[in-house]
Chains A and B, each alone.
Chain A
């Protein structure tokens, strides 16, 4: 479904992605693991053309998207949930969701269909349904994250790019967010490319993962293999030596 081949991305002079190739199959959840500055978020931003690649190819469903603009990529079915839940805080929950469907209503899609999808988001996140008229700036951190995901879903993506959905959330809310991620895949077959500092949680829902270091992919394995990899355990799962030894 998504194929990235030999991409290089720069921030000015900084070579952020070095010849990265990876793929996401239809209905697959793929996690990107790595420390800060490894290039995880840059991969998402490169796919959605926020920071387009200097060279290399990106294919979505066989179509080359590496030279396309962000809105065209969204129309093709790729939605990104940026880090830090950048929602429109003065607007209500409902208005935020409708903004997520902006490109669809602009394309002349019927209001009825959009309302139906809004209801689907409320079904997925009942808390948002209860607060649909509330100003979104007054929502809790977890609810804002749900809204950010919900808004991305309003574009009816087939591939969801999720950047740090668990950041700063209490453990119970993290569980809730990841429950929804799994449900999305199960119900709608949505493919998900996931960036997450909390590698343990990410690898529990993911099928496969890539480990990044200084802009390079250094490992591609199934999620269960990555969880068993002691390099990954030590560096990204927060297990210390003692814990690994005494396991």
Chain B
């Protein structure tokens, strides 16, 4: 299969590591100069940015975590003046402060190139019709694949989200050959095709690139057999760049991280120590090519391991294994990241103090859903059915406005939710992965 950027993707490791060191040194000098947040922590810890003599020296630099990004909302982490930013994206959260990320013209170009690598690696070519069913908005997913596909020369069908039957009609009539979606949405498409009597095998569809949520092997198998396509996995997050951080090659033995742009590390999420090669731990990424929004040792929260052995595809870039859960309690529901703390704060705001609650994530068919149970107490329980219903609807509406997706809220009798020491809420994920 073709390699989009062989000069970098197949660069001998020694050369690659020298390039990484050069770019890391320049990045550290730049963030020290341009980002107050980094200058402050470097000064406090007496870290001289130009003292980084090797890649292993990175362990002496503190992590950046999501909270740091929230504290610097909206533009505090930008390393260039706003007039040089040509694009802004942000993470989920409609009322809580989201994370805002920016791109310069060069960043958009680099991003385009990275996603083109991901797509080329699984065989997307200029002859493909690429249907993008991600949301075209503040999320990075749709735009990233849009640019990548155009750079390759493929034809983009930017359908965006929703309207499943129309998506299927377009898929048939426009002869879509590559599908960009969440794994869940691929299953929704397959189910709807069943309902309306469309035979997926008669479509031109041949490959799917799935993102937004983890693609489990079980799900991959099911998508492949039901849609008759090759289902491929890739990895990205908006804090780092969006899609284009890593992607599978045709051998599907992990996702190659594009190390000319990102330096990956695996740490113990509890101690923060860097773990030996091969261990499972939290993925930490440092960007070494970004202009507007550089990140130094960003804690992704994703648990995985790295594989440095050579790959049959010829790429020299390290492979990350499928993500094995989160180091925090973040849930991914229909491609949207949900933190239980967001829900807890909504409940606390309404009830006055945090009630005992549990968050249940479950799956019906291909549809993920979220239920929030909380114990009846003074102020949440009403004798009148009408008032009770109105109250629960109000809670649902508030939660939806904070987490960005709908959740069903149920009242349960007092003392029926298991207690966990030091916590008022528990999270139960019943989805088989």
Chain B positions 248-282 with a Cβ under 8 Å from a chain A Cβ: none
For the complex formed, measure the closest distance between the CB of B319 and the CB atoms of chain A, giving whole angstroms: 26
Q: Is A67's CB within 8 Å of the partner chain B?
A: no
Report whether B22 and A220 are in contact in the complex, using a CB–CB cutoff of 8 Å: yes
CA distance A229 to B110 in the complex (A): 13
B164 CB within 8 Å of chain A: no
Given contacts A19-B25, A217-B26, A218-B33, contact A229 B291 (CB under 8 A): yes
Chain B residue with Cβ nearest A4: B22
> Does B338 count as interface, using CB distance less than 8 angstroms?
no
Tell me which of B49-57, B219-227, B232-240, B396-404 binds A.
B49-57
B429 within 8 A of A: no
> Does chain A have a CB within 8 A of B18?
yes
Task: Using known A-B contacts A3-B18, A23-B18, determine if residue A218 contacts B83 with beta carbons closer than 8 Å.
Answer: no
State A5–B25 Cα separation when bound (angstroms).
Answer: 11
21 sample A-B contacts, Cβ–Cβ < 8 Å, listed by A number: A6-B53, A19-B52, A20-B25, A21-B18, A21-B22, A23-B18, A211-B26, A216-B29, A217-B25, A217-B26, A218-B26, A218-B30, A218-B33, A219-B30, A220-B23, A220-B26, A225-B109, A230-B80, A230-B83, A231-B80, A245-B83
Let me know if A213 is at the binding interface, CB within 8 A. Answer: yes
Q: Decide yes or no whether A132 CB sits under 8 A from chain B.
A: no
A205-245, CB under 8 A of B: which get 1 and which 0?
A: 00000110100111111000100111100000000000011
Roughly how many angstroms separate A213 CA and B32 CA in the complex, as a whole number?
12
User: Any chain B CB within 8 A of the CB of A18?
Assistant: yes
A-B interface, 3 closest residue pairs, ranked by CB to CB distance from nearest: A19-B50, A18-B50, A216-B29
Contact of A217 among B29, B80, B83 (CB under 8 A): B29
Q: Which A residues are in CB contact (< 8 Å) with B49?
A: 216
B interface, CB within 8 angstroms of A: 18-19, 21-23, 25-26, 29-30, 33, 49-53, 80, 83-84, 104-106, 109, 291
Return chain A residues, CB-CB under 8 Å to B53.
6, 19
- Rounded to whole angstroms, the CA-CA distance of A20 and B29 in the bound complex is 11
Q: CA of A244 to CA of B83 in the docked complex: distance in angstroms? A: 10
Alpha-carbon distance A229/B19, docked complex (angstroms): 20
- Chain B residues whose CB sits within 8 angstroms of the CB of A211 once the complex forms: 26
The answer to whether A230 touches B84, judged by C-beta atoms less than 8 angstroms apart, is: yes
Residues of chain B within 8 A of A221, CB atoms compared: 106
* Cross-interface CB contact of B106 among A21, A228, A245, cutoff 8 Å: A228
> Which A residue sits closest to B7, measured CB to CB?
A25
- The docked-state distance in angstroms from the alpha carbon of A244 to that of B80 is 15
A54 to B291 alpha-carbon distance, docked (Å): 31
Question: What are the residues of chain B within 8 A of A218 when measuring CB–CB?
Answer: 26, 29-30, 33
Interface pair B26/A228, CB less than 8 Å apart: no
Task: Decide if A76 is an interface residue (CB 8 Å cutoff).
Answer: no
How far apart sit A245 and B81, CA to CA, in the bound complex (Å)?
13
Q: Contact between A217 and B22 (Cβ–Cβ < 8 Å)?
A: yes
Tell me the bound Cα distance from A5 to B33 in angstroms: 22
The residues of A that contact B83 with a CB separation of less than 8 Å are 230, 244-245
Q: CA separation between A216 and B26, bound complex, in Å?
A: 8
Q: Is A167 an interface residue (CB 8 A)?
A: no
Instruction: Give Cα A162 to B23, complex, Å.
Output: 24
Bound form: Cα–Cα A199–B25 in Å = 22
Kindly state the separation between the CA atoms of A216 and B80 in the bound complex, as whole angstroms. 18
Bound CA–CA A18/B33 (angstroms): 14
**What separation, in Å, do the CA atoms of A52 and B354 have in the docked complex?**
66
A219 touching B26 in the complex, CB below 8 Å, given contacts A228-B105, A230-B83: yes
Once bound together, how far apart are the Cα atoms of A216 and B32, in whole Å? 12
Given contacts A217-B26, A218-B29, contact A21 B21 (CB under 8 A): yes
